[in-house]
Structure 1
Amino acid sequence: MSSRIGVRLTQGVAMAKEPEQWQEWFHWLKAAGFGYVDLQSITKETLAALSEAGLSLGSFDARKVPQLLSRDEDKRSVAVQELTDQLSEAAGLGATTCFMCLVPEQAATPLTESFGLFCGVFPAIVEHAERLGIKLVLEGYPGPAPYYPTLGCTPEMLRAMFAAVPSPALCVNYDPSHLVRLGIDYIRFLREFADRIAHVHAKDCAILDESVYLYGRSQRPVFAKPPKFSEGPWRYTIPGDGNVHWQTVAFELDQTGYRGPVCIELEDHRYTGSVEAHRRGLIQALAQLHMFT
């Protein structure tokens, strides 16, 4: 699996905005031993820079995602058109994996309502993606407190979504950190949705027993201030520093026949604030993944 390890690279992680800075990052990633990069957006120029550095594209982010689940019909229509256009452009550039997190436009939207909106707009989107040979991968990040409105985080909801839109183009981005956070068996999940996993994020989550005692699982701390990438009873970490058993994950992924990229999503408060800190975290994460694969 080591040759397939990549990085989800965003402006927040890379601290880079200019094309020259992205190119420098690509060459650093290749020299550090990475093979794939997930990008927020792609152009002919960025993909050429990736290729020149000897890297491959993992995924690109969908645009206008919250508007897809807007209560405003006109907004939904515009968002569907923009996404289908984006998918056509991406297919023309050779991209095959589109990442999205289905957080609705209004965070207070009940999940049942969001599911109804999903059933209305996604059949056409997924049909278009299937024709283009693009996989739409859904990440199970629960969404912001206090509503946690993201669609597609739990096995219950994913079963309903795949029943409503059975196309093989609708897939899962497997990120065990969110499952640990939610208390969902991340290995059972991997086995159940093995045929839907089209992308993997390497991120861990540590359950903090003392914090669970102090705050419980359902309420955030009132007086304490949790570190970044935490809500109190848990915190996201680099792979190997949390509750995920990565050797088992690697074995199960191999058993399912998954051969795609495994991209580190760096959300660990110890490795933020500077380019040097981010790179130190990525190197540490890469070294730990190599031990478990």
Structure 2
Amino acid sequence: MARPVTLYTLQWGDLPLQTVCEKAKAFGYDGLELGLPDHLDVRRSDKEYYMQIKDLLSSYGMQLHTISTHLIGQAVCDRIDERHKSILPDYIWGDGDPEGVSQRAAEELIRTAHAAKALGVDTVVGFTGSSIWHYLYSFPPVTEEMVNEGYADFARRFTPILDAYQELGVRFALEVHPTEIAFDTVTAKRALEAVNYHPSFGFNYDPSHLGYQGVDYVDFIYQFPERIFHVHMKDVYWSDTPKQVGVFGGYVTFGDPRRFWNFRSLGRGKIKFEEIIRALNHIGYSGPLSVEWEDSAMDREQGAEESCRLVKHFDFMPSSRAFDAGFEKK
């Protein structure tokens, strides 16, 4: 049986969930990855609410394996400022006091685990934010003590969240991504160490965020075989020749053709999905392949339909026997 192919709904948050179900079904998807806060209100505690969501998805034949809370998770460890007001619900932003925002975001992540359990889901994907991302370039010089404190801050803020997840039988999958406490292979290892390899902490694998950085995105899978909790299928293009705007983005918007890199619809960038599927087969990953569609230059409906078809084309089941096993004579 092939892995289910799901559509992440965050990029479709302007549409009602029923409309997204209708479109995803027509595009050929097997299920959805619900994005908070647009398509799920985790403040609800009544069983009827979650039953209605499950019934709605079921009526369109949509499976549900994962819910995601990227925007709110970002506020847990970040240095909070005006940027966050635009991505957070008013009840998380409140008066904008940074510590209050972070605490409310942490409480929301725990509510999200309860919502996942109510929906019969065992994986929550999200961001963590980072108190040390602004140290990235290391000038003025950054000391090891400053970096260590950033990981200690992450551990202080996230360990209680992870403990709550463990009690509920839910896992938190950090999407390894610039601006997070883990953004490449080395920092992912440091994040694991910081929380003492907490059993509820792992990764949402998204090759696009690794590829344009120059990180070996296939090797990442082999480095963390037990910690790949979820997979996003997303493509990215980076230039073979110098551009006006380098890898740091140059303060221009996504999609600007002057950029060194831009996200592209699946199959239209440089990510080698064949190698990703082979690596996932090797580590025994059997969860969903979720399309997070982001291409500023392409119609999203055409892109989402095409991406679904391509993921199903790339995916294949691992062999249960060596190809030359039939050569042996009994």
Query: Taking structure 2 as the reference length, what is the TM-score of the superposition?
Result: 0.74
What is the one-letter code of the residue matched to 1:284? E
Is 2:79 the partner of 1:64? no
Which residue of 1 is the match for residue 19 of structure 2?
Answer: 24
Question: Structure 1 residues 132, 241: closer, same or farther in 2, change over 3 A?
Answer: same
What is the one-letter code of the residue matched to 2:213? L
Q: How far off its partner does 1:250 sit?
A: 0.8
Q: How far off its partner does 1:181 sit?
A: 1.3
Contact conserved, 1:204 with 1:237, CA < 8 A, in 2? yes
| Percent identity of paired positions between Structure 1 and Structure 2 | 24
Q: How far off its partner does 1:256 sit?
A: 0.9
Question: Cα deviations across residues 227-261 of structure 1 (Å, max 9, x unaligned)?
Answer: 62777001111222111111111111111111111
What is the one-letter code of the residue matched to 2:77? L
Where structure 2 has 5 or more consecutive residues not aligned to the other structure, the ranges are 41-48, 80-97, 137-145, 316-330
Is 2:274 the partner of 1:247? yes
Question: Structure 1 residues 122, 14: closer, same or farther in 2, change over 3 A?
Answer: closer
Q: How far off its partner does 1:64 sit?
A: 3.5
Which residue of 2 is the match for residue 146 of structure 1?
Answer: none
What is the one-letter code of the residue matched to 2:238? I
Is 2:98 the partner of 1:103? no
Question: Cα deviations across residues 187-235 of structure 1 (Å, max 9, x unaligned)?
Answer: 111110121001111101111123x3544435628xxx66627770011
Is 2:38 the partner of 1:38? no
Question: Structure 1 residues 74, 9: closer, same or farther in 2, change over 3 A?
Answer: closer
What is the one-letter code of the residue matched to 2:270? N
Is 2:107 the partner of 1:81? yes
Matched residues in 2 for 1:206 and 1:119: separation? 34
What is the one-letter code of the residue matched to 1:267? E
Is 2:293 the partner of 1:266? yes
Count residues in correspondence.
273
Could you say what secondary structure the match of 2:308 adopts? helix
Question: Cα deviations across residues 45-90 of structure 1 (Å, max 9, x unaligned)?
Answer: 3332112211111322237323421565554444333322331233
Query: Taking structure 1 as the reference length, what is the TM-score of the superposition?
Result: 0.82
Where does 1:208-227 land on structure 2 (aligned, <5 Å)? 208-210=239-241, 212-218=242-248, 220=250
Could you say what secondary structure the match of 2:226 adopts? helix
Q: How far off its partner does 1:266 sit?
A: 0.8
1:157 to 187, 194, 200: 187
What is the one-letter code of the residue matched to 1:94? G
What is the one-letter code of the residue matched to 2:181? L
- Higher mean alpha-carbon deviation, 71-80 vs 262-271, is at 71-80
RMSD between aligned residues: 2.7
Which has the higher Rg, Structure 1 or Structure 2? 2
2:220 to 178, 189, 214: 189
Q: How far off its partner does 1:141 sit?
A: 2.4
Could you say what secondary structure the match of 1:270 adopts? coil
Q: How far off its partner does 1:134 sit?
A: 1.0
Matched residues in 2 for 1:80 and 1:14: separation? 22
Question: Structure 1 residues 157, 23: closer, same or farther in 2, change over 3 A?
Answer: same
Which residue of 1 is the match for residue 306 of structure 2?
Answer: 284
1:132 to 153, 168, 190: 168
Which residue of 1 is the match for residue 234 of structure 2?
Answer: 203
